[in-house]
Structure 1
């Protein structure tokens, strides 16, 4: 008998507007192929980790099921033309990576500073 699929969507992944990454993926705010790949690889990670990080595999398997459910949703949305791969060229372009790397690392530094100083909005 198959277990009922229980998924996890923690509130700490929600942004200031109340949206998590799954919402952003489903709205097409990222190239579909990257969102689908993210979900696929994350579900594989939790499947492989189950019973290794902790003796009880329950939490990791719930997480794997969560990402599997989102993976299925995204595959359907892409097949139906609701989400697209627009922007994939930028994500895979190495030519301007040095500039993007600098911008991204500064962004991470700013986020860290905002969190540590209490300026971050939660």
Structure 2
């Protein structure tokens, strides 16, 4: 079996600076409520999936525990004011969604093109 860190926080989830989403969450780069919700929903997902996708629930339960630990850390950071919900209005605003949708879908097309052409950094 893969090492727990590689299994739960694999290198393919890091950005070009070597940072994964947990790093970004802990530094307040996303609204706290979204980061906390992300961890909460992932821990529930892996708990529910345990023993169903594969007969051995070990990996899914390890992932659930990892998301639970991050969830706890983020709740603490929010309680002491280290992370906040700045930007939540934009994330939840539908009024300008059409414009943001267009930008996002173009970004996905560019990423796909960069990967297929070999221009993407790996």
Does residue 15 (structure 1) correspond to residue 15 (structure 2)? The answer is yes
**Greater length-normalized contact order (CA 8 Å, ≥ 6 residues apart):** 1
Segments of structure 1 that go 5 or more residues without pairing to the other structure are 1-5
Alignment partner, residue 48 of structure 1: 48
Alignment partner, residue 91 of structure 1: 91
What SS does the corresponding residue of 2:100 show, helix, strand or coil?
Answer: helix
What SS does the corresponding residue of 1:108 show, helix, strand or coil?
Answer: helix
Segments of structure 2 that go 5 or more residues without pairing to the other structure are none
- Structure 1 position 12, deviation (Å): 1.1
Does residue 120 (structure 1) correspond to residue 120 (structure 2)? The answer is yes
Does residue 106 (structure 1) correspond to residue 109 (structure 2)? The answer is no
Q: Hey, what's the Cα distance between the residues in 1 that align with 2:111 and 2:52?
A: 31
Deviations 1:11-48 (A, max 9, x none): 11111001000000000000000000000001101110
Task: Give the TM-score of the pair, scaled to structure 1.
Answer: 0.93
- Structure 1 position 10, deviation (Å): 1.1
